Amino acid sequence: MNPTTKLSVNINKVALIRNSRGENLPDIIQVAKDCQRFGADGITVHPRPDERHIRIRDVYELRPVVHTEFNIEGYPTTAFIDLVTEVKPEQCTLVPDPPGVLTSNTGWDTVKYQSFLREVIQEIHAAGIRVSIFLNPEPDKVEAARKAGADRIELFTGPYAKAYAAAANGPQNFELFNAYKETARRALQVGLELNAGHDLNLQNLKFFKLHIPELKEVSIGHALICDALYYGLENTIQMYKRLLS
């Protein structure tokens, strides 16, 4: 029997719609409450420096209403670390995004940035927050993630999603998928827990979970919010959860 994987709903795209009109519709605080009421095991936000979706103020306002697990993602600038250590989410996911990037497009080079990551992780740990590191499917980066002090890695599933979309029955890029499995295996071997995220959707999630059943959590935003346009938020969350149980 596979362990259940938690679903953290990323609400960036809800904030993007709100910001497009300058008012408070949709109200992301209400949406976060409703996601949890509909079964989400957590809420993820990725405040970006230009505040194009999640704003710094949102992060503070979300804290008291997120009673499941709050996950804040981002590049660890001093401002980001101050925000995270003040808000105290259950989890912080460190992502190596340059400021203007369209969306996250790579994981950390944990070997090159090991000492930087160690300092940052120490600071975030001191506030009692679990730290996850966004990682490419690169087994040789796992040990350095552990040495930097991470608790978890989040497998960057963007390349997996592209490979899956290009084939009819699963990713078929065995080299790539083996790299995911090997990265996951090594992480578990050295005592790191596993998350995954980016471009996961109703089509590609089942295969990923089937082959990497030890996943603790997936964070899903873009596709889930798009699906909610057709199926409604409650149905959509339940559809994703069924693929994870």
209 binds, among ligand DXP, ligand LD2JLWAY, none (CB under 5 to 8 A by kind): none
Is residue 67 annotated as a catalytic residue, yes or no? no
**103 among the known binding-site residues?**
yes
Which residues on adjacent β-strands are paired with residue 193? 152
88 binds, among ligand LD2JLWAY, ligand DXP, none (CB under 5 to 8 A by kind): none
**222 among the known binding-site residues?**
yes
Write down the catalytic residue from 138, 154, 198, 217. 198
- Nearest approach, Cβ of residue 135 and ligand DXP (Å): 11
Contacts with ligand LD2JLWAY, residue ranges (CB under 6 A): 10, 44, 73, 154, 197-200, 219-223
* Closest to ligand LD2JLWAY by CB, 47 or 139: 47
Contacts with ligand DXP, residue ranges (CB under 6 A): 10, 12, 46, 48, 73, 95, 103-104, 134, 197-198, 221
- How many residues are recorded in the chain? 245
**185 among the known binding-site residues?**
no
Q: What is the dihedral of CA 12, 18, 23, 26, to 10 degrees?
A: -100
Is residue 46 annotated as a catalytic residue, yes or no? yes
* Closest to ligand LD2JLWAY by CB, 198 or 209: 198
Contact 110, 144 (CB under 8 A): yes
Is residue 125 annotated as a catalytic residue, yes or no? no
Contact 46, 12 (CB under 8 A): yes
* Closest to ligand LD2JLWAY by CB, 8 or 114: 8
- Nearest approach, Cβ of residue 179 and ligand DXP (Å): 18
Write down the catalytic residue from 73, 138, 154, 217. 73
* Closest to ligand DXP by CB, 18 or 198: 198
Residues carrying an active site annotation: 46, 73, 198
> Which residues carry a binding-site annotation for 1-deoxy-D-xylulose 5-phosphate?
48, 53, 103
* Residues placed in the known binding site for 3-amino-2-oxopropyl phosphate: 10, 21, 199, 221-222
